[in-house]
Amino acid sequence: MLTRLILISCGLGAAVWSYSRWRQAIQAAMFLLLVEGAIRKWLLPGAQDIVYFAKDLLLLGAYAGWLAASGHRSLPRLPALKAALLVSALYGLAEIFNPRLPNPLVGVFGFKAYFWYIPLLFVLPDVFPDDGALARFLKRYVLTAIPIGLLAIAQFFAPASSPINTYARAAEDIGYVSTFGSSSFVRVTATFSYITGYSSYLFAAIILLLGILATVQWRFRRNLQLYVALGMTVLGILLTGSRGPLILLAAAFPFYWWLAVARERGAGATFSRLVLAVGLVLLLISYAASDAVDAYLGRAAGGAADISSRLLSPFVEPFATFPAAGLEGYGIGATHQTAAALAKDRIPYSWLEGAGVEGEPGRIMLELGLPGFLVFYFIRLYLALFALRQARALRTLFHRAIATAAFLFFFAQIPGSIVFDVTTDVYYWFFAGLLLTVMVLDRVALPASQPAVAPPAARRRPAAVPARVRLLDASR
C-alpha cells in the first residue's frame, strides 16, 4: 500500500511538472510508452494499474499547460474534421449513460479509450519549433528499435519459463507465454506488456523509418543506424509471430513507392538503393536469424487457412452486429477489456446479451450503434485522404515524406484497432499531430516568394528538399 501511495504521489507530481514543461512532457510520454510494459512486468508488478496511467497523467498536465500557454501556432482550419470530432465527443458523452451499460464507470473508461489521445492532434504542432527539432526527435525515437530489438532476441532464445518472458497481468492469473505452435521458441513482447503492444510499436516504427529514409532518399552514407533500426523492426515482427504488420506493409508499399519514390527527383537511383537495402536486410535476417524465420513461416503456414476470414472480418462484422446494436448500441466501453473489472457484480460481458465480436469495427458498432460507428469511421477515412493530399502538396521533401508516413499509417488503420489497443491509439493521434506539424512547418520552409502551390509540371515531379533543410544528415 505504501508503494502505491508513493507512486500516486509521484504521478501527481509528474502531472504538475508536465503542466509547466508541456513540450518536454509530450515527448517524455512517447518514450514512456516504450518502457511502460517493462516497468509493469519487472519493476512494479504490484502496481501495474498505476503505471498504466502514468503516461496519461503526463499528457493530462501537458494538455492543461498547452491550453494555458499563449502564442499557439495557427493550424489548418479543417472544419469537417473538427465538426466530426466534436459530434463524436458529444455522442460519446451521451453514451456514458446508456442504460445497457452495467454502470456509468464503464462508460467513463470507455470514453477515455476513445478520446484521451485526440488532443495530440492539436498540441503536437506547438511542441516542435522547427524542422531540426522534429527531425532529431524522430531519429532518436526510431533508433529505440535497436535496444528494444536486442531484448526481443534475448527473449526469443530464452525458455518460456525465463523471468524475461512474462506478461503484465494480475497476480492471480495463471502464468503462460505464447509460443510458435509446437516450437519451444516464444513469441516475444520486448519492453511491452503483451505481443500486441510490441507489434503495434514495430509497425509504427517501420512506417516512421520509411518516412525518414525517404527524406535521405535511401542513401547509405551516414545512415547506417537507420538501416540497423530497420533490420531490427523487421526481425522484431518475425519474433512476435504477428502476420498483420507484414500484410499491412505489403498493402501500403505501392503507395509508398508512388508518393515517396516515383514522384521525387532521382527516383530511379532512390528506388535502386531501396531495393538493395531491403534485399540486404532480408538476406542478413535469413542468414543470421534462420530460427526466427523458420518459426515465423511455420506459424504463418499453420494459420494460412484463416487469413482470408481475418482480412474480411473487419468489413463484415459491423453489418453482422448492427441488428443487435441498433441505433444506440450497448454503450461506450461495453466491450472494452476493462469493463469486466469495473462491473464485478455482473457476469463478465453478460450485458452484451451474447452479441460479442472480436474485431474493432464490430465492437464499435456494438458500443455506439450506427450513428457513432459512421462518425468514427468518417474521421478515419477523412484523415487518410487528407494525409494523401498533403503528401502530394507539401513543398519540401522532408515534409512530404512525413505526410506520406502519416498516410500509410492512417490507411493501414482504417480497419485497425485504435480504440482497444492503447499503443496504436497513441500512435494514431501522434501521426495525426505529425501531419499538422509538417503542414505548419512547411509554410516557412521555403522563401516567402516561392508559391505555395507548385505549377503543374513541378507537381508531377516535386522539387528535392534544399540542402539547408536536409535535417537527417548525420553531419548536423
Query: Is residue 216, in this structure, part of any structural domain at all?
Result: yes
Average confidence (pLDDT) over 390-417: 95
CA-nearest of 195, 207, 202 to 241 is 195
Percentage with pLDDT > 70 across the chain: 91
Phi, psi of 276 (to 5 degrees): -65, -45
pLDDT digits (tens, 9 = 90+) for 32-74: 999 999 999 999 888 888 888 999 999 999 999 999 998 888 8
How far is the C-alpha of 475 from the C-alpha of 341, rounded, in Å? 52
Cα-based torsion angle of the residue sequence 215, 218, 219, 225 in order, rounded to the nearest 10 degrees: 90
Residue closest to 183 by CA, chosen among 294, 346, 40: 294
Q: Is the pLDDT of residue 452 over 50?
A: no
pLDDT score of 169: 67
Q: Distance between CA atoms of 459 and 462, rounded to whole angstroms?
A: 5
The yes-or-no verdict on residue 364 having pLDDT over 80 is yes
| Structural domain that includes position 391 | 78-148+188-469
Q: What is the mean pLDDT of residues 263-292?
A: 92
pLDDT of 185-229, one tens digit each?
Answer: 899 999 999 999 999 999 999 999 999 999 999 999 899 999 999
Rounded CA-CA distance 101/459 in Å is 52
User: Mean pLDDT throughout 331-357?
Assistant: 90
178 within domain boundaries: no
pLDDT of 2 over the 80 cut? no
pLDDT at residue number 458: 38
- 26 occurs within a structural domain: no
Most confident of 41-50, 106-115, 175-184, 299-308: 106-115
Percent of the chain with pLDDT over 90: 68
373, 324 in Cβ contact below 8 A? no
Residues 239-263: what's their mean pLDDT?
93
Q: What is the mean pLDDT of residues 121-126?
A: 96
Whether 163 maps to a domain, the answer reads no
Is-contact 59 19, C-beta < 8 A? no
Read off the pLDDT band of 176 (50, 70, 90): confident
The pLDDT of residue 473 is 44
Q: So what's the pLDDT on residue 474? A: 37
Q: Of 86, 29, 36, 35, nearest to 62 (Cα)?
A: 29
Distance CA(463)–CA(476), nearest Å, equals 22
Q: Quick one: which of 245, 230, 194 has its CA closest to 36?
A: 194
Q: How does pLDDT run across 299-326, given as a tens digit for each residue?
A: 777 666 667 777 788 888 999 899 999 8
Looking at the DSSP bridge assignments, the partners of residue 321 are none
Domain annotation covers residue 222: yes
Distances (CA, A) of 138 to 35, 209, 215, 437: 17, 9, 12, 13
Residue 64 lies in a domain: no
Rounded mean pLDDT, 244-255 = 92
- The x, y and z cell numbers of residue 357, run together, are 465480436
Lowest mean pLDDT across 40-44, 85-89, 176-180, 388-392:
176-180
How many domains, in total, are found in the chain? 1
Interval 135-162 mean pLDDT: 95
- The pLDDT value recorded for residue 71 is 83
Q: Retrieve residue 304's grid coordinates.
A: 494460412
pLDDT exceeds 50 at position 453? no
The residue-averaged pLDDT of 427-443 equals 96
pLDDT at 65: 96
Q: What is the mean pLDDT of the segment spanning 432-461?
A: 65
- Residue 284 within any structural domain of the chain: yes
What's the pLDDT at 450?
39
b/e 331-340 (16+ beta carbons within 10 angstroms → b): bbbbbbebbe
**Long-range own/partner contacts, residues 449-453 (CB < 8 A, 24 or more apart):** 450/395, 452/395, 453/393
**170: left (phi > 0), else alpha (psi -120 to 50), else beta?**
beta
Residues contacting residue 174 through CB under 8 Å, at least 6 positions apart: none
Q: What is the pLDDT of residue 174?
A: 53
Cβ atoms of 49 and 8 closer than 8 Å: no
Check residue 26 and give its pLDDT: 97
Among 327, 320, 328, which residue's Cα sits nearest to residue 355? 320
pLDDT(459) > 60: no
Q: Are 204 and 258 in contact (CB under 8 A)?
A: no
Residue 445 is assigned to a structural domain of this protein: yes
| Cβ–Cβ < 8 Å for 396, 360 | no
**At 186, is the secondary structure helix, strand, or coil?**
strand
Is a pLDDT exceeding 50 seen at residue 378?
yes
